[in-house]
Chain A
Amino acid sequence: MHAKQATHTMLAMHGVSKSFLGVRVLHGVSLDLAAGEVHALVGENGAGKSTLMKVLAGEHVPDEGVITLDGRRHRFSHPAQAQAAGIGIIHQEFALLEHRTVAENVFLGREPTRYGLVDRRAMEDRTARLLADLGEDGIGPRTYVRDLSVARQQTVEIVKALASDVRVLVMDEPTAPLADHEAGLLHALVRRLAARGLGILYISHRLREVFELSQRVTVLKDGRHVTTVRTEDTDTDRIVRAMVGRELSAYYPPRARPEEVGETRLAVRGGGNARLTGIDLTLRAGEITGVAGLQGAGRTSLARALFGAAPFTTGTMTVDGAALRPSAPRQAIRAGVALVTEDRKAEGLALRQSVRDNALLVTRAVPDRERPPAARELTALLEKVRLQARGEHQETRFLSGGNQQKVVIAKWLAARPRVLLFDEPTRGVDVGAKAAIHTLVRDLAREGLAVLIVSSELPELIGMSDRILVMAEGRVAGELPAGATEEEVMRLATAGSQGAATTGPGGAAPDGPTSDGATPPPPSPDPTPPPSTPTPQEGAA
């Protein structure tokens, strides 16, 4: 496919380790890259891909490890050093100044000067030449970045990297913000760059584009290097297995028995907003519904839409049979819906307030005469969530992550909810508290609450859920019964992804993973062709 594939190693990273605050996130990872190669880097959320790339770009200093570029050893302690050595990185968030022109952005910080003044003409000429080299004639050097589409802004980022003579270009999920046809254009651009002899490290969750673009794939998992293989020697299944391959080790409380699952508490039909499309969902009393998906698949958006924090704009929703599509959290709370947010410190707690003030915040803000006065039963409530604190007057910022989470849960329980939504219930929580929270969540379901859990930790999600909805690109890509394997989940989460130029705008986001036919490696027989819409299954297996 590429003539220069045979060239030998240009970049090598060897034995790179990195810890943050005592937590090891990279364990001696090695990686190499040849000129003209597209090398894909895949792994689950938190596998260490981004950290590894930030080490390469000089944004993190590695604890151990060597980076060799063109035979010279480097140790970058600042992004500028990496840039000077020829490493460019395109982040998921662009670093562009919206109110400046394309040329000003491309040459930001290294503007060509003449007599001590910025030489605008040289700057614009050189930008125009770079754009022409790439065949990007839709962008003018004098256009303001704010007037460009996301895809074109991304191109400007790439040009910006090229302007400083990069040898290695790191692209962190470049197609994530793009529409399908834009992704196709980007793929073409990536191929052209590789053909010019650049080495490209390509991080992606979308396995299809990995197979279309890359010559080799490296899989990371839990901060370790799992395998590096030639793309043509492998297939989706093997990659997914390598990404997941871990044992279910933790103990999870027993699942709901069929007779424990009761009536429908919350139902959505055709729910949608800017990030979600065609959501059909039913949450039932006594049942824990898990929501899986990769970052950006719309899991958090779903939880926030149900809670009215980022409301649905289309579709219908009922809570306990009454029609309600909340447009603010307050409405959802009144109807008995509660959300334990992902970002505990910014959204879950008022950190400088006491345990007591936090636990009573909801009942104080949304008074309800039918509820028993929460202040009186606070002690029992804190006991129920097994809070370990110095007292109810302790400020919550001094609590551990697990105890903070218990305060958040207590806060919602005080309001007597009927539907409890959890977004990453155990993020930043130590192992012991995790088990306590898992048990608590199951107990709450037993008491008749309908529970929804969004989690990036697949073992947790599979261990806790009575059924699992898998989301991809703002839709429910499918539903799996209790006890589904991680591979089944990952396959649904990654396979439904689009990004190929071949599909065109009309073929956007199919309902199920089986409907896309253009995947290069023949998909192995799909074990559970999941229902494309989450029609309720009586009492999950």
Chain B
Amino acid sequence: MSTGTATDAPQKRAPAPATATYRTIARVLGTGAPVYALLIVLLVALAATDPGFYEPDRFLAFVKRAAPLVILAAGQYLVIVCGEFDLSVGAIVTAGVVAAAEVYGTYPDAPWALMTAGLLLAGAAAGLLNGLITTVLRVPSFITTLGMMLILEGAVFYWTGGSPQGRLPEDFRRLGRDTALGWLPWAVLACVVAGVLVVLLMRSDFGRTLVATGDSERAARLAGVRVRRVRVLAFVLSGVAAALAAVLVGGFSGVSAQAGRGYEFEAITAVVLGGVALGGGRGSVVAAMAGAFSLQALFTFLNLQGVSGALESTVQGVIVIAAVGLGAADFSRLRRRAHPPGPPTAAPPAPATPSRTHREGHPHDPQP
């Protein structure tokens, strides 16, 4: 892998193939390595607790349940990796489900494809608003999306009086409920397609630029990156992901004013669990999605162990703190230490805290 560069001086000590392979693996896993280990441990634990867990239909049902969170985590990843937050996704899910039900109440015969497309567009619009407020008005995204969350929740409550009336027709719910070819849930398919798309996106010029922007806004701007546009797009995609999750959630659990409650924090937990640095610039989207699977597996496991579902948010809280404190902060240092042919120069200490003020280096800052 590393043959591309001019020098071979620092490499001459290293037995090339084995080290190169190891390095490639380490690079692909990136900062997400612990989450893959965690996921494997949890899946093994699930198998041990419940021998029937890996029967195809049960396992697919598990994946199906995890699908909305995985999609939300992918969307949340895009926002977090460029240095922002999106707290509004749970509320977008709720609003999406309720809005679909209300529209069906008025036009019971609306085609499902049109309705789905409409929801995705509405999600994009919400994301666009989040992005523009954050970048143009320079309201920190934490506040912008918190406000958006409250606005949407309040609007849903006002609109429905707390108990949504309409119901969703069967063909709209198919994506969340039914299976293709008789065995593959549409939700799993949607999750896989979304996953492939986002991986491709992150390998594209846009994806690389997005990560670089999260890493150093100043460097990106001086390299000609349109920082605002890149960030706004991340918010738009997060909104679309939330709308897609709304379609799935509406499909398998029906209409409720609590449909998306808590999803924003679950998504952030999943992303953090995937080793993605808050503040941006580091972490892979695959690891973030693996974080979502891990979280779902953990909840399933606790459920099987008879732990009260009420403790879910407590567990989540512990995970978020632990993940930021340990894993996400500085796993790479461990990896370097375990890996003798060190970097050619003294490595600067990795930043102790993953969170940075992402407002630094504004275009209108006075220059040094």
- Contact surface of A with B, Cβ cutoff 8 Å: 300-301, 304, 307, 309-310, 329-330, 333-334, 339, 341-343, 346-353, 355, 357-358, 360-362, 364-367, 378-379, 382-383, 386-394, 397-400, 403, 411
Contacts and interface: CB of A to CB of B under 8 A. Distances in A.
A394 B215 CA distance: 15
Given A330-B224, A364-B208, A387-B5, A309 B215 contact: no
A357 B9 CA distance: 22
Contact of B219 (A349, A390, A397, A399): A349
A382 B6 CA distance: 7
Nearest to A305: B367
Interface stretch (B69-77, B163-171, B247-255, B344-352): B344-352
Given A388-B6, A398-B348, 15 more contacts: A300-B367, A329-B223, A334-B224, A346-B218, A347-B219, A347-B222, A365-B205, A388-B9, A389-B5, A391-B5, A392-B4, A392-B5, A393-B27, A403-B345, A411-B223
A390 B23 CA distance: 10
A350 B215 contact: yes
Contacts of B219: 346-350, 361
Given A310-B367, A357-B208, A387-B7, A365 B223 contact: yes
B282 A355 contact: no
13 contacts: A304-B367, A329-B224, A339-B222, A352-B215, A361-B223, A362-B224, A365-B220, A365-B224, A379-B4, A392-B5, A393-B27, A398-B344, A411-B223
A304 B220 CA distance: 15
Contacts, number: 139
Contacts of A365: 205, 209, 220, 223-226
B126 interface: no
B212 interface: yes
Contacts of B343: 390, 394, 398-399
B32 to A, nearest CB: 14
A357 B223 CA distance: 12
Nearest to B347: A398
A367 B224 CA distance: 10
B215 A342 contact: no
Interface in B1-31: 1-7, 9-11, 23, 27
Contact of B222 (A341, A364, A391): A341
A346 B367 CA distance: 12
Contacts of B348: 397-398
B216 interface: yes
Nearest to A388: B7
Nearest to A380: B6
A419 to B, nearest CB: 15
Nearest to B366: A310
A383 B23 CA distance: 22
Contacts of A352: 215, 281-282
Contact of A342 (B4, B281, B368): B368
Contacts of A304: 367
Interface string B109-131: 00000000000000000000000
B101 interface: no
A329 B218 CA distance: 11
A400 B345 contact: yes
Contacts of A353: 208, 211-212, 215, 281
A422 to B, nearest CB: 14
Given A301-B367, A391-B5, A309 B222 contact: yes
A512 to B, nearest CB: 27
Interface-centre pick from B10, B23, B224, B225 (highest chain A CB count, 10 A): B224
B226 to A, nearest CB: 7
A355 B7 CA distance: 13
A350 B212 contact: yes
B367 A309 contact: yes
Contacts of A362: 223-224
Nearest to A379: B4
Contacts of B224: 329-330, 333-334, 362, 365-366
Contacts of B222: 307, 309, 329, 339, 341, 347-348
Given A353-B211, A364-B208, A394-B343, A389 B7 contact: yes
B261 interface: no
B361 interface: yes
